Amino acid sequence: MKSIKMAKQAIKDYPNKEIYMIGLLVHNKMVVNDLQNSGIIVIDDWKRSRLDIVKEIPKNSVVIFSAHGTDRKIIEYAAQNNLIIIDTKCEWVLETENLIYDYLNLGYEIIFIGKHNHPETIALTSINNDKIHLVTCIEEVENLKLNSDLDIFVTNQTTLSIIDTDVIYKKIKEKYKNSKFKNDICDATLVRQKAVLDLNPLEIDLLYVVGDERSNNTLKLVELAENKGIKSIRINSKEDIKLSEIKGVDTVAVTAGASTPSIIQNEVIKFLESIEDN
């Protein structure tokens, strides 16, 4: 992943400087622990604003901003205060951010479909607290008090469920006729979700989803599989597999969250294959 490579490159480029990571680079504790063991100082305090955290970082230090995105005002503040910036923002988040700015400049109100307290949602909705309206479910759409004649642009967090997002957008369109929608679920998330939706519950007895408990796209894969009637278990790595879970199971499938390194997923597959061989 680009963000992980950038963080590791920062360690090489700035060997004599303190390197801080604001929030979790990606939602995968194994990746974050590896970077922390390499000397990066991780500050993951969701109760405090990222601006307040940045204000306490010593000048001339290196600051790594996570792949989930960071409010531009915070990055500008960091630059103005002599911090070396490594912005690992995902290209899909950047595309959504640019769209939001474009439509705000055109005078649109923005409805953002996302998850409360998710770093990506916080970063993108903070662009304009007055013009961007966060909804996470149909009930919150019903509670919106926007003028029905307004031009409205609807977009979303990049790691949501394609099914949930579609249901919420249909409710928005029903309420606000002048709304237009750009689904910004990232390719990495979309491909994985479609693969799970294509699984046949009559052919799959168990699905392992390799990913962190804080990874929204990982949890959505579990949810999609369960809704199809496929037993699904989230694991961090092969060490989490219990032999009792696969006793008497004929067919096991494996997928992984977008922030899960392929090496970890491959280790799970090889482990399951070794059990089958035995």
* pTM score: 0.85
For CA atoms 155, 158, 159, 163, the dihedral sign is: positive
Domain boundaries 2-89, corresponding CATH code: 3.40.50.11270
Instruction: Strand 252-256: give its sheet, edge to edge.
Output: 232-235, 206-210, 252-256
Largest CA distance in the chain: 66
Residue ranges per structural domain of the chain = 2-89, 92-181, 187-277
Neighbours of 235 (CB within 10 A): 19
Residues labelled as active-site residues: 120
pLDDT, residue 49, reads 85
Residues 6+ apart with CB under 8 A from 232: 206, 207, 208, 209, 221, 222, 225, 226
Same fold, 2-89 and 187-277: no
Neighbours of 22 (CB within 10 A): 23
pLDDT in tens, 29-77: 888 899 999 999 999 877 788 889 999 999 999 999 999 999 888 999 9
The CATH architecture to which 187-277 belongs is 3-Layer(aba) Sandwich (3.40)
What number is the average pLDDT over the span 217-243? 95
> Would you tell me which CATH number, out of the four given (3.10.20.30, 3.40.1010.20, 3.40.50.12780, 3.40.50.150), belongs to the domain 92-181?
3.40.1010.20
Tell me how far the alpha carbon of residue 139 is from its chain's centroid: 23
Instruction: Strand 41-43: give its sheet, edge to edge.
Output: 41-43, 19-22, 62-65, 84-87
Q: In whole numbers, what is the pLDDT of the chain averaged over residues?
A: 93
- The Cα–Cα gap between 121 and 69 comes to 9
pLDDT in tens, 151-199: 999 999 999 999 999 999 999 999 999 999 999 999 989 999 999 999 9
Q: DSSP of 128-153, one letter per residue?
A: -TTTEEEE-SHHHHHT----TTS-EE
